[in-house]
A and B are shown apart, each in its own frame.
Chain A
């Protein structure tokens, strides 16, 4: 089955700096890669996703890149703000269940 690894597990950045979280996957059949933001005590919220026919997708300060050959994808947050502090999860799917990464706790220091 699919195996998704996520790094780093914790990340602290100064407000205004960029944050990058990386995930790798093992199953070449995976073709959908969402990113979720989870605040304490709440459910995950979809923030951006990418499909395997696209190499990059951007939505304001958030971008995701995908390298199918290397089987890795990354979340990029620019101009970070304190409200970006949360746990971020990547996931991979081939159309069925999602396989989640272990999560990255992002802290943006004001």
Chain B
């Protein structure tokens, strides 16, 4: 149980184009999903918290117009990197928190998406 998938697993795009990354909770419903960015040999950096049916909450320094997050259902959240540039190249990871369990703090992570912008 508690499986989270991401698609695509890797993507190469040209500078100026947009890329959409999907995050799905496969066997549970997730009211809250999180999007992280990870640089090589570094820890996870929280970009935003996404709650189903409401606007995402972005961390300080993260451009909400550049990183568009949509959490349209209890099993799907998407991250769209708009007008991507080489500095947006990174490993993007989502996580999901199960719904309906009191005191359920666990976050289950997806396998990550490697984005390379050329």
Contact = CB atoms under 8 A, between A and B. Distances in A.
Interface residues of A, number: 20
A44 B44 contact: yes
Nearest to A87: B41
Given A32-B105, A34-B106, A98-B107, A89 B112 contact: no
B114 interface: yes
B60 to A, nearest CB: 11
A89 B109 CA distance: 13
Interface of A: 32, 34, 36, 41-46, 49, 89, 93, 95, 97-98, 100-103, 105
Q: How large is the interface on B (under 10, 10 to 19, 20 to 34, 35 or more residues)?
A: 20 to 34
Interface in B6-49: 6, 34, 41-44, 46, 49
A43 B93 contact: yes
Q: Is the interface of B mostly helix, strand, loop or mixed?
A: strand
A83 B37 CA distance: 25
A89 B112 CA distance: 16
B110 A43 contact: yes
Given A32-B105, A45-B109, A103 B34 contact: no
Contact of A95 (B6, B44, B105): B105
In this complex, the member of B105, B110, B114 whose beta carbon has the largest number of chain A beta carbons within 10 angstroms is B105
5 contacts: A44-B109, A46-B108, A89-B43, A95-B105, A102-B43
A52 B107 CA distance: 17
A44 B106 contact: no
Chain A to chain B: the 7 pairs with minimum beta-carbon distance, closest first: A43-B109, A32-B105, A43-B111, A43-B112, A44-B109, A100-B43, A102-B43
Nearest to A89: B43
Nearest to A4: B43
